[in-house]
Amino acid sequence: IVRQEYTAEQYRRLGERCLTAYYHRHAPFSEGATLGLEAKVALALDEAGVYTIAGIIDRLVAVGEGRYEIHDYKTGGRLPSQDRLDGDRQLALYQLAVEAAWPDAKDVELVWHYLVFDRVLRSRRSREELEGLKRETIVLIEKIEADTTFPPRESSLCNWCAYQDLCPVRRHLVRREGQAQPDLGAYAAGQLVNRYAEVSTRRRAVVAELEAELEALEGALRAAAREQEAEVLFGDTHKVRVAPTDGRISLLPREDR
């Protein structure tokens, strides 16, 4: 359990609620014939078979003559927008694989079950969209295969990773907090982070205070320029030019000294 604010019992009750809601929504389960659960599919994206992909469909359903549904089950706590689902790559690729395996598949619908919300969301793809997806996926494969460097990208999924001690982004966290006896060097590095954060926060506060004072002074300088009917105001070592058009202020050294 990664989210420490939840207990195993809370997750169990959530699972019961999701299954109960799903059962009541779909009983007596006569919405088509299930052709496969965790069904493995494969597809060639090009005629030569150079670019191939494989996947596992949660549930494949035949609902009528030439009509199929690709079902995907989600347990996440966020409900996506329809626009996001209409641009989903995964199930659309599964559709291509289904059409290749079942030539009679003329009408395929993509179906997501968001169990926490007891919601069923649907989407369809045009032939033009599917052909465009093939091209985009081929380009993506070529880009991945051409890459030689793989910088880590931290996300919420890192909490589930079993290799954090090997990752340059998460290694220090494991050494500092994830061991029974924390590494002293890792602890010292953490103290440096704490001090850096403290100084950075203080600097931002000072900068914000100075910027507020500068803003007030600029307003006063504009007022003084209007009062003196002058575009340039002189101090002991510097002068300030107040642009007559937009009031922009420029600070310059005095050249007459």
Model pLDDT for residues 203-250, shown as the tens digit of each residue: 999 999 999 999 999 999 999 999 999 999 989 889 999 998 899 999
Residue 181: is its pLDDT beyond 70? no
- Could you give the CA distance from residue 110 to residue 74 in angstroms, rounded to a whole number? 13
- Could you give the CA distance from residue 34 to residue 177 in angstroms, rounded to a whole number? 47
- Entry pTM: 0.65
Within 13 A of 200's CA, how many CA atoms are on the CB side? Answer: 6
Residue 256: is its pLDDT beyond 90? no
Model pLDDT for residues 22-69, shown as the tens digit of each residue: 999 999 998 899 999 999 999 999 999 999 999 999 999 999 899 999
pLDDT reported for residue 2:
60
Sign of CA dihedral 127, 131, 132, 136: positive
- Could you give the CA distance from residue 232 to residue 251 in angstroms, rounded to a whole number? 10
Question: How would you classify the pairing of strands 67-74 and 107-114?
Answer: parallel
The packing angle between helices 90-101 and 127-146, to 10°, is: 110
pLDDT reported for residue 91:
96
pLDDT reported for residue 207:
94
pLDDT reported for residue 157:
86
Q: Are 42 and 97 in contact (CB under 8 A)?
A: yes
Q: Give the pLDDT mean for 128-156.
A: 93
Model pLDDT for residues 150-177, shown as the tens digit of each residue: 888 899 888 888 899 899 888 888 888 7
**Band of the pLDDT at 180, cuts 50, 70, 90?**
low
